[in-house]
Amino acid sequence: MRHSEAANYFGDTQSYAFNYLYAPEFSPNLSSVTPSPTLNPAIMNMLERRDPHWIILSLGGNEHNVLSILQLYEKFDFILGEEPDLPLAPGAEIYPEAMARETLRDWMDEALNLFLAFRAASQAPMAQVSPPPPLPKAHVLANPRELVPNPLYRKKISPDSLRHKMWRIACGLYRETCRKAGILFIETPKDIIDENGMLAGRYWGADATHANDAFGRRMMEEAFQFLSGATGD
């Protein structure tokens, strides 16, 4: 999002900063997790220096893809409790939803701890944007890159329905952690999701898992609207 676009929400007198948390000066993001998650001192210093009015987070987001995009061994699937009529893959071993959730929770552990660390570090209103829904199998096959480097693996890409369910579980874990931490969770607007529960085509990125700039801009707009309503600005 350009400065001029952000100014429509904040006013021209405000300043804005986008910080890439994978930058060397911020890595690792956490300096400790016990007795409570604590941010890297460089991130703490940045927050203290800027004293932000709002904070919009985009933490993690790709764990559901890493965990579910390939089924290298046996096929698996599960029934999603909040929408049990979603299709099951033929011939798949059916696991409990709790198994999928807790496995995913382990993969998301750092991101979930980051929410708590950011909340402890600042009293500013915060929002976390939802990760994009997964991209359809056809797009993954057309853009395998580093995620599916071995051509033999491309026959083992999971069905879209399973990947949609894993994304739903991931969003549920983000939502639950944000609620406990007092952080707004910005849901993916329904028009961004296609009829199969995947990312709508106009928001596809250039690789197997990422959305494009239009998705990021749309989610920032959603966050601005929610935060301006929550703070009365």
Express each pLDDT in 122-156 by its tens digit.
Answer: 999 999 999 999 999 999 888 877 666 677 777 88
**One-letter amino acid of 20:** Y
Three-state SS string over the chain comes to CCHHHHHHHHCCCCCCCCCCCCCHHHCCCEEECCCCCEECHHHHHHHHHHCCCCEEECCCCCHHHHHHCECCCCCEEECCCCCCCCCCCCCCEEECHHHHHHHHHHHCHHHHHHHHHHHHHCCCCEEEECCCCCCCHHHHHHCCCCCCCCHHHHHHECCHHHHHHHHHHHHHHHHHHHHHHCCEEECCCHHHECCCCCECHHHECCCCCCECHHHHHHHHHHHHHHHHHHHCC
> The whole model's pTM is what?
0.89
Alpha carbon distance 80, 87 (integer Å): 10
pLDDT > 60? residue 9: no
Q: In 3D, which of 149, 190, 158, 4 has the Cα closest to residue 68?
A: 158
Provide the terminal-to-terminal Cα distance of the chain, rounded to the nearest Å.
Answer: 20
pLDDT at 111 (0 to 100): 94
Instruction: Say if residues 129 and 189 touch (Cβ distance below 8 Å).
Output: no
The predicted pLDDT at position 2 comes to: 46
Closest CA to 169 of 76, 104, 75, 84: 104
What is the token pair recorded at 210? Answer: 């990422």
pLDDT at 57: 97
Question: Residues 171-214: pLDDT tens digits?
Answer: 999 999 999 999 999 999 999 999 999 999 999 999 988 999 99
> pLDDT tier at 13 (50, 70, 90 boundaries)?
very low
